[in-house]
Amino acid sequence: MDFIREYYFDFGIMGDELGRVLEGFWFTIQLSVLSGVASLAWGLVLAVLRQLPGRATAPLRWLSIAYIDVFRGIPLLLVLLLVSGGLSTLSSPIGGEVLPEWLGKPTWLGQTTPFWYGVFSLTITYGAYMAEVYRAGIEAVPGGQMEAARSVGMSHNLAMRYVIVPQAVRKVIPPLLNDFIALMKDTSLVSILGAADVVFVGRAIQSEQFNGSGLMLGAILFLLVTIPLARLVDYLIARQQQKTQRGGAPAEASEADQQALGGGGGVTT
Amino acid sequence: MTEGSTNGAFLRLEDVHKSFGDLHVLRGVNMDVNRGEVVCVIGPSGSGKSTLLRCINLLEPPEQGHIYLEGREITGAKGAADDEGGIDFVRRRVGMVFQQFNLFPHMSAMGNVTLGPLKVLERKGSDVRPKAEALLKRVGMEAKVNEYPDRLSGGQQQRVAIARALAMDPHVMLFDEVTSALDPELVKEVLDVMRELAEEGMTMVVVTHEMHFAREVAHKVFFMDGGVVVEEGKPADVLENPQQERTKQFLGLVLEH
């Protein structure tokens, strides 16, 4: 028992290294928020492309479906290695300098290159996950809504923009938040590229002091954010269900929707 | 198509067919509606009445036959089925009200009524709002302008839906069993609004089970069964003195109650 306490909960080490660990966690937070926002936007683009009507847009639909299939099926770690390896090589003499330095080894906004490789990879991957969540939301909007929008003269695009997507997004906020929690945890993988995130710092402390308390401190910091977020998701779902039970005609399909979405919104890691 | 080819009929359906997979719902429907006329379509469930309305505003483009609106053919290659311009022509002239209201739940009554004029006709908000207020007043909803649909009764929602359709200045209004989903005590307020519209000269195609409404308001009644028009004529003739056996059967069942 003493070993466990000393190895994982050495409060002396935790106190001494708090500053460094917090710095690493701040990196994690920035990476999570930026990648999260970018994934939300990219996922919505993919979902809307996937719902385009008509024969002329079929290639766009197929591309979007293929993209989603591919990036939901590849481990994020592989994407990270492929993105970082590709971009850095293509912008160096070995790769013929196909890409300019600012794009291949970005250091925008004072962030490091591994940070941006992380943003690209997380957005590419989580965009695909979130596209599926949006799709569930779009499909959960009753068909009468599109018909009503079309019957007041709106084109498909206008109807999506002002009628379907606003309703769909409201329905899927909880599962999107779940995906965000998963994304936040997955940011830890960028440590393999040498990004100075909370895991990287924890490992450094571990190898310097032969002690896991730095890593444990990182885990605790994660929990301080992810548990309240999980509670928020629960609260939002409960509120939506309450609203459904109170009735109101447009909510007629919602109960079934909630069940469908509850299944579709599961965390994927 | 010229006005002459439809003999001046405002809306003409010629031999309209529509199938869903193996289900042949419309099997050659013919119908003429003149400007300012109120036409009621009655018939048993599954007779194709709703599909017919959905064909008229091209929510379900027919596979065969012709539909002319204001003298222009809106079906077929020259018409609209695959052509946004043609669909535009139709949807800007044809308003539709649905059985399930289909109000936009994330918008107030005002938002529902103004969305079309703002986004489709691209009118300015300052022009659209007073007109929307007037329309909501016309359907007796002036006190609920800022309410959201989930705070409105079915009858109130349906009246907002009528105002929403009217906001696009339609030339013809389609009503698809608009009182069927309502509690009995809410039916009258919706029918009254429709009656007023009819009196003001709106061209209307009304799919309904309200025989009293058909008798009092309609200029023409069409009885549909099995995907065709079985009998048509003045309400007094069709409803009180039907010639066809199927019409007699149907009315016998409906009017007993």
- State how far the Cα of A155 lies from the Cα of A76, in Å rounded to an integer: 38
> Is A79 within a domain?
yes
Residues of B in contact with A257 (CB under 8 A): none
Please say if the pLDDT value at position A234 is more than 80: yes
Confidence of residue B79 (pLDDT cuts 50, 70, 90): very low
Among the listed ranges A200-214, A252-266, B156-170, which one has the minimum average pLDDT value?
A252-266
Q: Please state the domain count of chain A.
A: 1
Question: What is the average pLDDT across A107-126?
Answer: 92
B157 close to A (CB below 8 A): yes
> Is A168 within a domain?
yes
> Is A116 within a domain?
yes
Q: Which of B95, B102, B106 sits opposite A170 (nearest CB)?
A: B106
Nearest chain A residue to B156 by CA distance is A249
Mean pLDDT computed over every residue of chain A = 88
Tokens of A128: 């695909």
> Is A269 within a domain?
no
- State how far the Cα of A244 lies from the Cα of A234, in Å rounded to an integer: 15
Please say if the pLDDT value at position B27 is more than 80: yes
Q: Where are the alpha helices (DSSP H) in A141-197?
A: 143-151, 156-159, 165-186
- State how far the Cα of A106 lies from the Cα of A108, in Å rounded to an integer: 6
CB contact under 8 A, A158 and B157: no
ipTM score for this prediction: 0.89
Mean pLDDT computed over every residue of chain B = 90
* B86 or A69: which leads in pLDDT: A69
> Is A242 within a domain?
yes
Residue A254: which CATH number? 1.10.3720.10
Tokens of A174: 């909880």
Confidence of residue A213 (pLDDT cuts 50, 70, 90): very high
Please say if the pLDDT value at position B9 is more than 90: no
Residues of chain A with a CB closer than 8 angstroms to some CB in chain B: 142, 144-145, 147-155, 158, 162-163, 166-167, 170, 243, 246-252
> Is A268 within a domain?
no
Question: What is the average pLDDT across A206-219?
Answer: 94
Residue whose pair of structure tokens reads 């008798």 in the numeric block: B215
What residues make up the domain containing A144? 2-260
For chain A, the C-alpha Rg in angstroms (whole number) is: 22
> Is A267 within a domain?
no
Please say if the pLDDT value at position A10 is more than 70: yes
Question: What is the average pLDDT across A146-170?
Answer: 93
